[in-house]
């Protein structure tokens, strides 16, 4: 008897993480349906997937999961570094949002059988006494000085508790090393892309940098296979920061003082040069190296590019992007497409029927039509 095709919910499709995962999943013949959700519209074409403007903190999540018959949830909305999100708002999205998403996946009648969380290697912290090749069973930095790090550790703790209470759902947490995407560079990538990269005086940290395509490949693999648990996702080995910068022909100079590093980073941010979060400042002093043995053994994941190759590819693409115009490609229909209510019969009192169950209509979810095909690839300013 043929296996039932998958129905997958992906959070965070306004950013490249979620959108590129969706692009891969919609091409999988074993996937019947993919739904992407976010509070902002996607910048990437989602193919035949459906997009819903929906906040994961809303109770409608549970109704969506049951109405569609979602069996797999891929949660990419977590953030560890952000240009535009203060710690209080990040806590709301990372912790409260994840708790509500988990609640929507639990309970009697939930069809969810697999949950994949995008986490970060920052959960281990970055200190002078960390061993090289951190394994997944290493103690997490729950007492970190940094709010973003504490939030992600808290998220992982809730996900672990959820796994214990729901043994019928396979839970995977992927702890990524810092990612490199030339189209949407994160704070560390933007720092490395500066014309002259200021380094911390007296420090040359070992780094692991993962290419965008390898990061997405790991997410897709975890969506389809592998036992539950935490997995480090990174290239094997590491490279000293100075070696990376030299190999890519980047100018660099030891300009950041170890004492007063936070003040120096604040000045750089105020000048509009770069944004370096406190956890990145720690990384630029002490570095961090993750063991990738478990991911290779149990997920079958091995990064196609090592750290140096990923960085050189990133720099090459960024140099090209400097000379290309910035286009806002995707245009969206003005009218709303009522996605959930297309599966139910509306009634005059605002209630309808989904699979024989009476549910109330809720106006906070704003489904939209899929974006029109792009005319040219979107490029962000460097």
The arithmetic mean of pLDDT across residues 3-7, rounded, is 87
For residue 322, pLDDT beyond 60 = yes
Q: Can you give the pLDDT at residue 361?
A: 44
Query: What distance, in Å, lies between the first and last C-alpha atoms of the chain?
Result: 52
For residue 47, pLDDT beyond 80 = yes
SS3 212: helix
* Selected residue with higher pLDDT from 272 and 150: 150
Q: How far apart are CA 327 and CA 299, in angstroms?
A: 38
Question: pTM for the complete prediction?
Answer: 0.83
* Selected residue with higher pLDDT from 296 and 320: 296
* Selected residue with higher pLDDT from 327 and 297: 297
Q: Where are the beta strands (DSSP E) in 243-379?
A: 251-256, 345-346, 351-354, 357-360, 366-368
**pLDDT averaged over the chain?**
85
* Selected residue with higher pLDDT from 370 and 158: 158
Is the Cβ–Cβ distance between 219 and 174 less than 8 Å? yes
Q: Can you give the pLDDT at residue 81?
A: 72
The arithmetic mean of pLDDT across residues 140-153, rounded, is 92
Residue 354: pLDDT band with limits 50, 70, 90: very low
Q: Can you give the pLDDT at residue 311?
A: 96
Look at phi and psi of residue 272 and say left if phi exceeds 0, alpha if psi is from -120 to 50, else beta: left
> What strand order describes the sheet that includes 351-354?
345-346, 351-354, 357-360
Q: How far apart are CA 48 and CA 51, in angstroms?
A: 10
Q: How far apart are CA 193 and CA 191, in angstroms?
A: 5
And the tokens for 376?
């040219």
SS3 272: coil
SS3 132: coil
Q: Can you give the pLDDT at residue 230?
A: 98
Q: Can you give the pLDDT at residue 264?
A: 73
The arithmetic mean of pLDDT across residues 77-83, rounded, is 78
Residue 260: pLDDT band with limits 50, 70, 90: confident
Tell me which residue has tokens 């970190």: 144
Q: How far apart are CA 181 and CA 355, in angstroms?
A: 42
* 125-141 burial code (b ≥16 CB/10 A, e <16): bbeeebeeebebebebb
Q: Can you give the pLDDT at residue 54?
A: 93
Residue 340: pLDDT band with limits 50, 70, 90: low
Among candidate residues 174, 53, 162, 50, the one with its CA nearest the CA of residue 112 = 162
φ and ψ at 233, to 5 degrees? -120, 110
Residue 275: pLDDT band with limits 50, 70, 90: confident
């Amino acid at each position: 008897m043929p296996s039932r095709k998958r129905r997958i919910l992906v959070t965070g499709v306004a950013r490249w993480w979620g959108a590129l995962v969706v692009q891969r999943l919609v091409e999988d013949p074993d996937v019947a349906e993919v739904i992407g959700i976010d509070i902002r519209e996607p910048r990437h074409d989602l193919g035949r997937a459906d997009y819903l403007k929906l906040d994961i903190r809303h109770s409608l999540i549970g109704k969506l999961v049951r109405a569609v018959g979602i069996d797999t949830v891929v949660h990419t909305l977590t953030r560890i570094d952000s240009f535009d999100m203060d710690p209080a708002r990040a806590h709301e999205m990372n912790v409260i949002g994840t708790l509500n998403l988990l609640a929507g996946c639990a309970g009697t009648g939930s069809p969810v059988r697999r949950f994949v969380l995008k986490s970060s290697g920052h959960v281990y912290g970055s200190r002078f006494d960390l061993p090289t090749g951190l394994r997944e069973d290493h103690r997490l930095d729950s007492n970190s000085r940094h709010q973003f790090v504490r939030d992600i550790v808290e998220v992982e703790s809730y996900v672990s508790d959820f796994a214990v209470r729901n043994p019928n759902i396979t839970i995977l947490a992927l702890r990524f090393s810092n990612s490199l995407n030339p189209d949407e560079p994160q704070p560390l990538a933007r720092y490395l892309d500066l014309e002259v990269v200021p380094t911390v005086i007296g420090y040359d940290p070992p780094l692991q940098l993962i290419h965008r395509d390898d990061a997405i490949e790991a997410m897709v693999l975890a969506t389809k296979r592998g036992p539950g648990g935490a997995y480090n996702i990174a290239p094997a080995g590491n490279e000293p920061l100075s070696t990376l910068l030299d190999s890519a022909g980047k100018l660099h100079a030891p300009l950041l003082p170890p004492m007063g590093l936070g003040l120096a980073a604040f000045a750089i941010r105020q000048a509009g040069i770069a944004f370096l979060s406190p956890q990145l400042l720690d990384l630029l002093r002490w570095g961090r190296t993750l063991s990738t043995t478990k991911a290779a053994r149990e997920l079958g994941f091995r990064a196609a590019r090592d750290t140096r190759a990923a960085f050189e590819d990133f720099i090459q693409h960024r140099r090209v992007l400097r000379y290309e115009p910035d286009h806002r490609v995707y245009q969206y229909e003005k009218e709303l497409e009522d996605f959930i209510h297309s599966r139910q019969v509306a009634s005059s009192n605002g209630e309808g029927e989904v699979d024989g169950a009476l549910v109330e209509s809720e106006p906070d979810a704003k489904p939209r039509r899929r974006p029109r095909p792009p005319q040219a690839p979107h490029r962000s300013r460097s």
